[in-house]
Structure 1
Amino acid sequence: MGSVRPQVVAHRGASHDNAEHTLRAYVAALDAGAEGLECDVRLTADGHLVCVHDRDLRRTASSRAAISNTELAELDQLDFHSWKNPWADLDDEAPDPDDRLDKVLTLRTLLETVADYDRRVEVAIETKHPTRYGGLVERRLVDQLRHVGWDRPGSPARVMSFSWTALQRVERLAPDVPLVMLIEHSRNWSMLRRMIGRDWIVGPGIKELTEHPRLGRRITRAGHDLHVWTVNTEAQLDLCLELGVKAVITDRPAYVLDLLDGKDATAG
């Protein structure tokens, strides 16, 4: 294995085995040894940032409600974990439901959990766009980072987005917070490379890196670190190691950490 061991970041928590974005999924990731946690944030109707990927709750909480039209107290009544294992009642091994671990998770709770943890854990926070609240999402996010003192140099938090405008907002509000420009399509790189900040990190998807073998090298040659999503297989990890990727975002943090340990042992 090369000299750079990438940071292992749990995508929506340890979401391969647990309901994504629940505190249970993040605790499982921490227990597995994940060095970073990734989350998506959306703003509720009453102004709270919650860790949810989709704009509505059909997939994860059996509700047609949009996050932006729903208050936090209403979200708190919903079941965010049963969709992952609908047969849990028949499974003797399934953990008992726990309201603290399985309900909707606010960003504030996640940040405070990480801040209280007994080792440094980094948090990669993705803002979703377009959204009816526009730049309010980034303003609220920076407020939350200030609340835990993570808007300063050396912050364990970084902000990610597919929206260049959103990252510009964060740069103005909290210039010391690292930024990750996410890329869904390789064809966008030629334009983005002229727009993004010199020290911004670039976050391409593993699918694009696999299908466009020159993309990763083009990004690193332009002087940007790579953080790659979503890396779930050994072949995908090997490609990231070959490219000198600094962080791999994975649904399976325990598995990827084991793979890296095995490669370290072989190299040693």
Structure 2
Amino acid sequence: MPDLPARRPQVVAHRGASFELAEHTLGAYLEALDTGAGGLECDVRLTADGHLVCVHDRDLRRTASNKGLVSTMDLAELSELDFAAWKNPWADLDDEAPDEDEGLRGVLTLRKLLETVADYDRRVEVAIETKHPTRYGGLVEKRLVEMLRDFGWDQAGAPVRVMSFSFTALQRVERLAPEIQLVQLLDKPNYWPMLRRVIGKDWIVGPGIRMLRDHPRVAESIARSERDIHVWTVNSEKSLQRCLDLGVKAVISDRPRLMLDLLDARFGPEPSGR
């Protein structure tokens, strides 16, 4: 495959600045914004009372020390939980640690995240992943599109895109709002030959960095497809270089500050500064 000209990809903060701070908390996203990330990534699930919240796992064992399922709990119940303590379990023993705003530690609704982005002083894009399978099926995409319409972000040029490993879920979004940008996530190399034939002509491909590393022929095939490529989860200089070699448009990273520093060293600071 001929070498592609290196270009600076967008840096998207995976669940916020999740290497330093607890994923999917407002604190993690504000840190990513302050760092200068060009985009934010989040996973969304639907609560029992119909709210979209930014949570990756179907249950809360890992991130909130609770055995409950997101889909069976109301937003009020989730709001009583601490979603940040797991990241630094010894924080309470540090007498010199500054007091932290509790609003930065709790469950984060998608609406709050989008309001934060809408009010920010520069354009920031949001990559929203819908999780499947889920007991609510297509209702997740329906509620998501309704919310994007509330912001006027269901049109071409809006600062949002919807991602999923589920081809069917992305088809739902396309039917509901044909102008929303879509990203077909991909983690198994044997899926690519089929997906390349059925996904929409303007859809973005979102492969995992491990797949690109371990299956170079598939990586080259994706690069030759002339589709935009957004890669997850890129956390090292070596992984970033692999993305640059393939000409990817966006790198999704737990460490947005590191990625931005590496790109500044390679391409120079972005004109807007950070």
Q: TM-score range by the shorter chain?
A: over 0.9
Residues 121-157 of structure 1 deviation map (CA, whole Å, 9 limit, x = unaligned)? 0000000000000000000000111111100110100
- Equivalent pairs, count: 266
Return closer, same or farther for 1:24/1:188 CA change in 2, 3 Å cut-off. same
TM-score when normalising by structure 1? 0.97
Aligned positions of 1:79-228 closer than 5 A: 79-91=82-94, 94-228=97-231
CA distance in 2, matches of 1:94, 1:229: 32
Report 1:211-250 matches (<5 A). 211-250=214-253
CA distance in 2, matches of 1:73, 1:99: 15
27-36 or 1-10: which moved more?
1-10
Kindly indicate whether residue 50 of structure 2 is the aligned counterpart of residue 50 of structure 1: no
Equivalents in 1 of 2:170, 2:42: separation in Å? 16
Q: Out of 41, 57, 62, which is 1:59 matched to?
A: 62
| Higher alpha-carbon deviation: 208-217 or 230-239 | 208-217
Return closer, same or farther for 1:242/1:95 CA change in 2, 3 Å cut-off: farther
CA contact (8 A) 2:6 2:244 kept: no
Distance 1:22 1:190, change over 3 A: same
Return the letter of the residue paired with 2:75: L
Aligned pairs for 1:21-32 (under 5 A) are 21-32=24-35
Shift of 1:264: 1.5
Q: Is the 8 A contact 2:182 2:203 kept in 1?
A: yes
**How big is the alpha-carbon RMSD for the aligned residues of Structure 1 and Structure 2?**
1.4
Question: Does residue 251 in structure 1 map to residue 241 in structure 2?
Answer: no
Please give the TM-score of this superposition, normalised by the length of structure 2. 0.94
Q: Distance in 2 between matches of 1:119 and 1:92?
A: 36
Q: Which one of the candidate residues 75, 83, 86 is aligned to 2:78?
A: 75
Report the AA paired with residue 165 of structure 1.
Answer: T
Give the letter for the 2:225 counterpart.
Answer: A
Instruction: Give the C-alpha shift of residue 265 in structure 1.
Output: 4.0
Matches of 1:2 and 1:16 in 2, distance apart? Answer: 30
- Which deviates further from its counterpart, 92-101 or 109-118? 92-101
Amino acid at match of 1:184: D
Looking at structure 2, the residues matched to 85 and 135 of structure 1 have their Cα atoms a distance apart, in angstroms, of 36
Q: Would you say the 8 A contact 1:7–1:35 is kept in 2?
A: yes
Q: Secondary structure at the match of 1:34?
A: coil
Alignment CA distance shift 1:204-1:107 (3 Å) = same
CA contact under 8 A between 2:41 and 2:252: conserved in structure 1?
yes
CA contact under 8 A between 2:25 and 2:108: conserved in structure 1? Answer: yes
Checking the alignment, whether the CA contact within 8 Å between 2:12 and 2:39 is kept in structure 1 is yes
Aligned partners of 2:204, 2:240: CA distance in 1, in Å?
19
* Aligned counterparts of 2:97 and 2:186: Cα–Cα separation in 1: 37
* Change beyond 3 A, Cα 1:16–1:120: same
Q: What is the rounded CA distance, in whole Å, between the counterparts of 1:56 and 1:107 in structure 2?
A: 18
Q: Of the candidates 14, 18, 21, which is equivalent to residue 21 of structure 2?
A: 18
Which moved further from structure 2: 188-197 or 35-44? Answer: 188-197
Structure 2 segments unaligned to the other structure (5+ residues)? 270-274
Identity among equivalent positions (%) equals 70
Cα distance per residue 1:30-82 (max 9 Å; x no partner): 00000000000000000000000000000000000000000000000001000
1:3 deviates by: 4.2
Aligned partner of 2:111: which letter? R
Task: Kindly state the Cα deviation for residue 4 of structure 1 after the two structures are TM-superposed.
Answer: 1.5
Q: Is the 8 A contact 1:45 1:69 kept in 2?
A: yes
In 1, distance between residues paired with 2:207 and 2:94? 38
